[in-house]
Structure 1
Amino acid sequence: MADFIVPSTNRPETDAQHRLQGPIHAPRHVRVVCVGAGASGLLMAYKLQRHFSNFSLTVYEKNPEVSGTWWENRYPGCACDVPAHNYTWSFEPKLDWSAVYASSKEIFQYFNDFARKYGLHKYVKTRHQVDGAYWNKEKGGYDVHIKDLERGTVVTDHCDILVNASGILNNWQWPAIPGIDKYKGVLLHTANWDEKIDLRGRHVGLIGNGSSGIQVLPTIQPHVKKVTTFIREPTWVSPVQGLEQHVFSDQERLEFATKPNTLLEYRQNVERGLNGQFGIFLKDTNTNNDTEAYFRQQMHEKLQNPYLEERLVPNWHVGCRRLTPGVGYLESLGKPNVDVVYGEISSITEKGCLCDNGQEYPVDVLICATGFNTSFKPRFPVIGPSGKNLQDLWSTEAQSYFGIAAADFPNYLIFLGPNCPIGNGPVLSAIECQADYMLKLIDRFQTHNISQFSPKADAVADFIAHKDWFMQKTVWHDPCRSWYKQRADGPITALWPGSTLHYIEAMMELRLEDWEVKYNGNRFAWLGNGYSQTELDQTADWAYYIRERDDDEPVARGRRLQVINRSGTMQGNVGVSFSGKDGEKGVESKL
């Protein structure tokens, strides 16, 4: 094999010179820093390790363990609201989930086992919290400041590419209710649960009927003396038809583990079902209307209480807030030891909650199931070449490119950023395609003499304009309070303007016309010394393109997609039709 020089530094003055001495597409060393070792950060480490050479990676994680939100959230009843067999990476099934909706402990175990199986812990520094990232104008890339939480010191790292995988549902906060610091009982937050607290025989107050509150109530209700649950607004609660809770039998788990294709077919059928639900989120579709009728019927049958039904069944469309299966929740509201207080909490007193009905409700333990800061604003300063802080620019409305990058912040990539499909359908599938897109950018950075890449400001503006137009046709646009938007009448910042499958297809190829790319020296220095990569490999076929027939993969996008999605192999998928002039009412799913 011929000798050539691979640069060990990405300094502008040396990179182009080194490239001229090597073959075309010589992969220079690239240094990546990733913030967070939750699901996204672990996937990034896995994919970099699997697909790249000549790179270095450090994943900084503030917690003592990996797995992010699934290590942090340990409250009673904590589980994922996505069927467990499809809350896995597409390529990494788990054989022995206990139930359709598995506990957070099982999910933590899945991601922790994933990290252990592929040796990802070697990239991770736990108990290290990123405090800031600052563009280095001389070297390019970011100087990253990290607090060592065990030693109390601050260290600095430098990277060519910074990946923010800190997530959206991990920055928990107390509710903004006056007097919370005056309460003298036991105060708990679902995202900061103290497992030493024994609730048995106590009077518990529960604030919130979002995903966490809905999971907590049926779990603690049988064991406590009394629960007073404070609810300020209605919400749709029911599993989508066909995805009800089910505990897997020993026989089912055995067949998943030993019977060829049984688990694969089950996972594929569930995924098809999840992907067939997008019509739920579009106004005036059969899917939305039928689902709303089904939810309304389920809530009526489970509540069996006209007073609660009047207050808890929303007057906005199903899907405006995140759907939750709510296993056992509605039934728990009718139990003898559960009191429902509907309305606003005016303040928190030494004893409990003072509500807008003028009544004080004393409790021994007060659980705040009040969620997270979901502003999408970075948790730490991110300072770009202009000196501007992304925290300030996104303080009122976060605007990204396809949920993965921000204009004017080069070499900065984001998992589950603004307007990605975090609630549109199967979320881990979306994370996988985000990772693949990032790898394509990193590959181009590594094999060309690129110094900076960031989405163009006008591309971001056009994307936001398209997103805002599309969202008017969705139930997310209804005036409900939801973390999908910063205020009830505000723009939708959390969700993608389409289905998860739509996002996957949109992210299949780089649209470099949407990116501002800058180079070290001559942009064609990557052409190098005239030799190809093939000539450097003495085990390669130097006449690989000479054949007896044309076996090339399709060039046209449509034909290529038909190969990828195995077009023609399925019968009976959910059909879609377009109604209105030029499909102006969108896609109508036929269940």
Structure 2
Amino acid sequence: MADFIVPSTSKPESDAQARLRGPIHAKRHVRIICIGAGASGLLMAYKLQRHFSNFSLTVYEKNLEVSGTWFENRYPGCACDVPSHNYTWSFEPKLDWSAVYASSQEIYTYFNDFARKYALHKYIQTEHQVIGSEWNQQKGGYNVKVHDLKSNREVDDHCDILINASGILNNWQWPAIPGLKDFKGTLLHTASWDDKVDLTNRHVGLIGNGSSGIQVLPKIQPIVSKCTTFIREPTWVSPVQGLEQHVFSDAERLDFATKPGNLLEYRKGIERGLNGQFGIFLKNTKPNNDTEAYFREQMKEKLHNDYLEERLVPNWHVGCRRLTPGVGYLESLGKENVEVVYGEITKISEKGCVSDNGNEYPLDVLICATGFNTSFKPRFPVINHKGVNLQDVWKDEAQSYFGVAAADFPNYLIFLGPNCPIGNGPVLSAIECQADYFLKLVDRFQTHNIAQFAPRQDAVDDFIKHKNDFMTTTVWNDPCRSWYKQRPDGPITALWPGSTLHYIEALMELRLDDWETKYNGNRFAWLGDGYSQTELDPTADWGYYIRDNDDDEPFSRGRKLQILNKSGTIAANVGVNFAGGLDREEERPIQSKI
């Protein structure tokens, strides 16, 4: 496809005027800024480089290095709760993962190696933090203000399209407990870990039993003199059946590397199982009931303590909070040097924590595993063409279009925005699907004389209503405290109303009737000077549509999907999930065969 570049000697002219001198669908130059070089930002850079020309891209990253949360989080035991061979891009497997649940360091290495392999660093400016963005009323696009952390100066930039890939679980926060700054011992947060602090033979306090706290305890328990862990509410903790922790042997890793199809089939098996778990999140279904019974049995067996069972096994459905494998966590709670304090911390003193039982617990070190700000509100001003700041619009509740864009904020796209499938199933496949969706929008912007594109407000309103209605059927709607929602009885803002596969199919095509598009000049200026792209390519077959038989790709959505999902190639994986899911055809439990 021909690139379209206005000669520098020409007088200023509109995009519509310039397009009349080129062929249909001529590619104008498009300037893109991406915020964040974590997994999403790196994938966007890779896909733009692979599929596009006549573009410029800068990825601003606040950290010293790429990989986002996997560069930032280095606390003891830090890992991903997704099996490692499936915490990769679909097209970029890793052969030598150490275990089913690999460490954060291994995951960091994977994404860092990915950036180096495809030479993505040329697009990335590390130690540059975006602090503001505002729509340019004269030429469109966004003026972006960046803080150069190395030189401590502000840099101004501009883009046609702004992509926010800053993530959801990296804006960490201290707990809102009175007296936190009064503590005279060593204060740590799991998301801002100080490797120089030695915990050996020290009395350590641990606040929180979310994913981070659950990972920390088994790692520090063997080396500390004592650990007092403060827990204020129960949570479901157990590896999903069929996906327990396992360290790969040298022989297994060799098979992955040398036997054709071995690793691919293993990855596919896990992905099928992960995608077969969605029934767990629906109330009063056999998958949810069976999983809850399994988790309850596993927790009681590992705790083996009536007092802890009564307080730590929830009375709300499995899945209301994010499921965590919790390798070794429940067993650690019963160790002699671990004390469990159940209830609220009323304040923090110079010596340690004061619980609502009236007791003060002196500590040498206090670890806060208290999570992140998950409000989805942008961490910098995003000001649209009407002078409205998205931070203000989303201050009470973030409402997006399919987790990728906000109504009335043109040319602004979001990875892992509100109500995308961040906890519904495999997350990296959802990120890939979002990136592909963005590429379709970028392509349309580049090959048409589009000035602005944004989802319609009525489309967002209808989506939110559908989402809210659907969520009443899910376990996420239970009154548990979860980062999926801003308050226990509030709307679910983090999750998609369906499975990850459901999301992938929803985003396969642009629903342009949901988008408001504004053009520079006549909307049909992209038709150009009457020539096709084919005629400008002397190596192309100018009679390519003449053939011996009808080999067209299918036009119906159903037939297209059957080709994509290789319908008919799998013997029986209907409703498969690792925890005794429901086979909808035969209505019987199925167990994983991985």
**TM-score, length basis structure 1:** 0.97
In 2, Cα distance between the equivalents of 1:448 and 1:492?
37
Structure 1 pair 63–13 and aligned structure 2 pair: CA distance change class (3 A): same
Match of 1:582 in 2: none
The letter of the residue matching 1:437 is Y
In 1, Cα distance between the equivalents of 2:289 and 2:142?
49
Match of 1:257 in 2: 257
Match of 1:514 in 2: 514
Match of 1:491 in 2: 491
Match of 1:106 in 2: 106
* 2:52 is equivalent to residue 52 of structure 1: yes
In 2, Cα distance between the equivalents of 1:232 and 1:471?
26
What are structure 2's unaligned runs of at least 5 residues? 577-583
In 1, Cα distance between the equivalents of 2:183 and 2:364?
10
Pairwise CA distance, 1:7: 3.4
In 2, Cα distance between the equivalents of 1:8 and 1:395?
45
Structure 1 pair 589–105 and aligned structure 2 pair: CA distance change class (3 A): farther
Match of 1:416 in 2: 416
* 2:444 is equivalent to residue 437 of structure 1: no
SS of match in other structure, 1:347:
strand
Pairwise CA distance, 1:234: 0.1
In 2, Cα distance between the equivalents of 1:363 and 1:589?
52
In 2, Cα distance between the equivalents of 1:184 and 1:588?
60
Match of 1:35 in 2: 35
SS of match in other structure, 1:111:
helix
Match of 2:154 in 1: 154
Deviations 1:515-565 (A, max 9, x none): 000000000000000000011111111111000000011100011100110
Deviations 1:122-163 (A, max 9, x none): 000000000000000101000000000011100100000000
Contact kept, 8 Å, 1:285 with 1:588, in 2: the verdict is: no
Match of 1:306 in 2: 306
Match of 1:95 in 2: 95
Pairwise CA distance, 1:13: 4.4
Pairwise CA distance, 1:17: 1.1
SS of match in other structure, 2:422:
coil
In 1, Cα distance between the equivalents of 2:232 and 2:255?
45
Pairwise CA distance, 1:574: 2.8
Pairwise CA distance, 1:572: 1.5
Deviations 1:51-76 (A, max 9, x none): 00000000000000000000000000
Match of 1:478 in 2: 478
Match of 1:406 in 2: 406
Q: RMSD of aligned C-alpha atoms? A: 1.6
**TM-score, length basis structure 2:** 0.96
Deviations 1:73-97 (A, max 9, x none): 0000000000000000000000000
Match of 2:581 in 1: none
Match of 1:232 in 2: 232
The letter of the residue matching 1:7 is V
Structure 1 pair 274–589 and aligned structure 2 pair: CA distance change class (3 A): farther
* 2:21 is equivalent to residue 7 of structure 1: no
Match of 1:580 in 2: none
Deviations 1:358-396 (A, max 9, x none): 000011000000000000000000000110100011011
Structure 1 pair 48–559 and aligned structure 2 pair: CA distance change class (3 A): same
Pairwise CA distance, 1:176: 0.3
SS of match in other structure, 2:28:
coil
Match of 2:21 in 1: 21
Match of 1:72 in 2: 72
Contact kept, 8 Å, 1:575 with 1:589, in 2: the verdict is: no
Contact kept, 8 Å, 1:238 with 1:327, in 2: the verdict is: yes
Match of 2:550 in 1: 550
In 2, Cα distance between the equivalents of 1:314 and 1:8?
67
Pairwise CA distance, 1:575: 3.4
Pairwise CA distance, 1:196: 0.3
Contact kept, 8 Å, 1:287 with 1:588, in 2: the verdict is: no
The letter of the residue matching 1:511 is R
In 2, Cα distance between the equivalents of 1:44 and 1:471?
30
The letter of the residue matching 2:384 is G
In 2, Cα distance between the equivalents of 1:532 and 1:6?
17
Contact kept, 8 Å, 1:12 with 1:139, in 2: the verdict is: no
In 1, Cα distance between the equivalents of 2:183 and 2:455?
48
In 2, Cα distance between the equivalents of 1:512 and 1:534?
26
Structure 1 pair 249–490 and aligned structure 2 pair: CA distance change class (3 A): same
Contact kept, 8 Å, 1:237 with 1:325, in 2: the verdict is: yes
Structure 1 pair 12–446 and aligned structure 2 pair: CA distance change class (3 A): farther
The letter of the residue matching 1:202 is R
What is the percent sequence identity of the aligned residues?
A: 79
SS of match in other structure, 1:230:
strand
Match of 1:201 in 2: 201
In 2, Cα distance between the equivalents of 1:242 and 1:572?
18
Contact kept, 8 Å, 2:129 with 2:146, in 1: the verdict is: yes
Structure 1 pair 551–370 and aligned structure 2 pair: CA distance change class (3 A): same
Structure 1 pair 590–142 and aligned structure 2 pair: CA distance change class (3 A): farther
In 1, Cα distance between the equivalents of 2:589 and 2:52?
43
SS of match in other structure, 1:130:
strand
Match of 2:541 in 1: 541
The letter of the residue matching 2:316 is W
What are structure 1's unaligned runs of at least 5 residues? 577-584
SS of match in other structure, 1:273:
helix
Deviations 1:6-26 (A, max 9, x none): 3379x9942111100000000
Deviations 1:101-121 (A, max 9, x none): 000000000000000000000
In 2, Cα distance between the equivalents of 1:367 and 1:564?
47
Contact kept, 8 Å, 1:407 with 1:457, in 2: the verdict is: yes
Contact kept, 8 Å, 2:4 with 2:28, in 1: the verdict is: no
Contact kept, 8 Å, 2:3 with 2:28, in 1: the verdict is: no
Match of 1:221 in 2: 221
The letter of the residue matching 1:244 is E
> Following superposition, which runs of at least 4 residues in structure 1 exceed 4 angstroms of deviation?
587-590
In 2, Cα distance between the equivalents of 1:539 and 1:358?
82
Structure 1 pair 18–129 and aligned structure 2 pair: CA distance change class (3 A): same
In 2, Cα distance between the equivalents of 1:242 and 1:517?
48
Structure 1 pair 12–38 and aligned structure 2 pair: CA distance change class (3 A): farther
Deviations 1:213-268 (A, max 9, x none): 00000000001100000000000000110010000000000000010000000000
In 2, Cα distance between the equivalents of 1:208 and 1:529?
65
Contact kept, 8 Å, 1:215 with 1:327, in 2: the verdict is: yes
Contact kept, 8 Å, 2:3 with 2:54, in 1: the verdict is: no
In 2, Cα distance between the equivalents of 1:13 and 1:32?
21
* 2:125 is equivalent to residue 125 of structure 1: yes
Structure 1 pair 317–392 and aligned structure 2 pair: CA distance change class (3 A): same
In 2, Cα distance between the equivalents of 1:91 and 1:590?
32
Contact kept, 8 Å, 1:480 with 1:488, in 2: the verdict is: yes
In 2, Cα distance between the equivalents of 1:350 and 1:12?
67
* 2:338 is equivalent to residue 338 of structure 1: yes
* 2:321 is equivalent to residue 321 of structure 1: yes
Match of 2:527 in 1: 527
Contact kept, 8 Å, 1:169 with 1:374, in 2: the verdict is: yes
Match of 2:167 in 1: 167
Contact kept, 8 Å, 1:62 with 1:129, in 2: the verdict is: yes
